[in-house]
Amino acid sequence: MGSVDKRQGALARREKRLAYLLLLPTFLLVFSIVLFPLIANFWISVKPVTLSDLRPPTLVVKERLRGNLTNASDNVKIEYRFRNSSVKYPLSSASFSDSLPLGIEVTRLDPACSLTGDGIILRCDLGDLEPKARGKIRIEVASADNFSGSKEIFRASEPQLEFTSYNILTSFDFTFANFSKIFSAAEFWDVLKVSIYYTVFGTAGALIVGLFAAQIMKRSFPGRSLVRGLLLFPYVAPVIAVAFSWVVLFDPFSGIVNAMLIQTNITDNPINFFGQRSIVVDFFGFSFGLPLALTMVIIFEIWRYFPLAFLFILARMQSIPSDIYEAAEIDGATPLQQFWFLSMPFIAGILAILFLLRFIWTFNKFDDIFLLTGGNAGTRTLTVSVYEQAFAISNLGAGAAVAVVIFVLLLIFAIIFIRFAPKDTTQ
């Protein structure tokens, strides 16, 4: 029995190793697609990185030949123009070497240069170069009797560069100045409130409209398939096309919506729906301020993404046994009671999953807001701040720090939501 157990244990270990080997490509794919960008974002967030730092400091050397080599003993000048490509970091121990063509004699050598390899290898030591430093080195040469060629032969060999540089991206110098900057900014907390407002109302609105659409589409009527297809249009249409259509429709000067509002005497002046921060609304004698541009962006979010909720909720509703509704109707249950006590327990789980996914996706949404308002008129969210910090003012470190804040907030929300979200108990 002991030998049998040992053989079974060895077989189980081999199968375990084989399973890990088979899963290794999946692990590598997940790491490269998900984890590596996440780790890179955390790495950049603790470094004072700008857009110019993405291209590491390097030595740039360009060779130019001045003069003609048509006759023997012609004198020409080889000019090497060099510069430090970085505007922030110096280069240490910079030098370059170049191979001279056969049949070329050096008549005048720059003090920074020397000849090696029987006089055909030119080496120039440039020393330490400050940021943006540039200069020239000139070498005078003459063609000997055995030289055969033209200017093109000098371009056959590229200068070989040597230098030591400081790369902020790969260094181990860290700082929390990026986080200090974004948290101390006066507008950060306002942007955070706008992000939460936009995400909560956009997510809840999309789920509510999707739930109503699913309730309607659950019943059979002529043309139901066509209506279902039309309801999917906002979600499948290109975001650039639909955003441009909304901007045109609500344009204050040539938009159809403003023309209708003015013709029906609802308003005397055109309304800049996507450019006006707020508007005063009178409702049954009560006046209150409404964040107009932000509300329009939320409405666009609801209109564009309710089809996703509609599809999932409808699929779940169609799996509910119809006999329980028939029994409830015989018992005298109203449609509202049937929905609340019969439908809701079945769809509570899918609603929770949809809310979590849509909350995360909406909080990370950038393209809708940027296409509609550009983040102006009180619609600037944290994702828009990432773009502005990283690309508008070229501060990649601060942009990555805002992205880290977004990740931490969503992670905390996901953990709390999963812990307390309603579970599907109908199975």
Q: Are residues 300 and 414 in the same domain?
A: yes
Q: Are residues 155 and 183 in the same domain?
A: no
In a domain, 233, yes or no: yes
Q: Are residues 231 and 374 in the same domain?
A: yes
Q: Are residues 64 and 186 in the same domain?
A: no
Domain boundary (141, 165, 189) is at 165
Residue 73 sits in a domain whose CATH number is 2.60.40.1170
Widest Cα–Cα separation across the chain: 114
Q: Are residues 260 and 304 in the same domain?
A: yes
Q: Looking at 31-137, list the stretches that DSSP marks H as alpha helix, in order from N- to C-terminal side.
A: 36-45
Q: In total, how many domains does the chain have?
A: 2
Q: Are residues 135 and 234 in the same domain?
A: no
In a domain, 96, yes or no: yes
Q: Are residues 144 and 231 in the same domain?
A: no
Q: Are residues 405 and 383 in the same domain?
A: yes
Q: Name the residue range of residue 244's domain.
A: 179-420
Q: Are residues 155 and 226 in the same domain?
A: no
Domain boundary (165, 190, 222) is at 165
Residue 336 sits in a domain whose CATH number is 1.10.3720.10
* Residue 403 near residue 41, CB atoms below 8 Å: yes
In a domain, 30, yes or no: no
In tens digits, the chain (427 residues) has pLDDT values of: 556 566 666 777 888 888 888 888 888 888 788 788 888 899 999 998 888 788 888 999 998 888 776 555 567 788 999 999 988 889 999 999 998 877 778 888 888 999 887 768 889 999 999 999 999 999 888 876 656 556 667 777 888 999 998 888 888 888 899 999 888 888 899 999 999 999 999 999 999 999 999 998 888 888 888 888 889 999 999 999 999 999 999 999 888 999 998 998 888 889 999 999 888 777 666 777 788 999 999 999 999 999 999 999 998 888 888 888 888 888 888 888 888 888 888 888 899 999 999 999 999 999 999 999 999 988 999 999 999 998 888 889 999 999 999 999 999 999 999 888 776 655 5
In a domain, 48, yes or no: no
**First-to-last C-alpha distance (Å) of the chain:** 43
In a domain, 44, yes or no: no
* Residue 398 near residue 182, CB atoms below 8 Å: yes
Neighbouring residues of 207: CB distance < 8 A, sequence distance ≥ 6: 306, 309, 351, 354, 355, 358
| DSSP letter, residue 1 | -
In a domain, 216, yes or no: yes
Q: Are residues 237 and 377 in the same domain?
A: yes
Predicted pLDDT of residue 146: 57
Give me 348's structure tokens.
């509570």
CA 361 to chain centre: 13
Q: Are residues 292 and 243 in the same domain?
A: yes
Domain boundary (117, 137, 165) is at 165
In a domain, 228, yes or no: yes
CA distance 277 to 266: 20
Q: Are residues 145 and 249 in the same domain?
A: no
CA distance 82 to 138: 11
| Residue whose C-alpha is closest to residue 133's, from 63, 60, 84, 61 | 84
Between vectors from CA 34 to CA 29 and to CA 36, what angle results, nearest 5°?
Answer: 90
- The position carrying tokens 């249950």 is 333
Predicted pLDDT of residue 332: 85
| DSSP letter, residue 52 | G
In a domain, 124, yes or no: yes
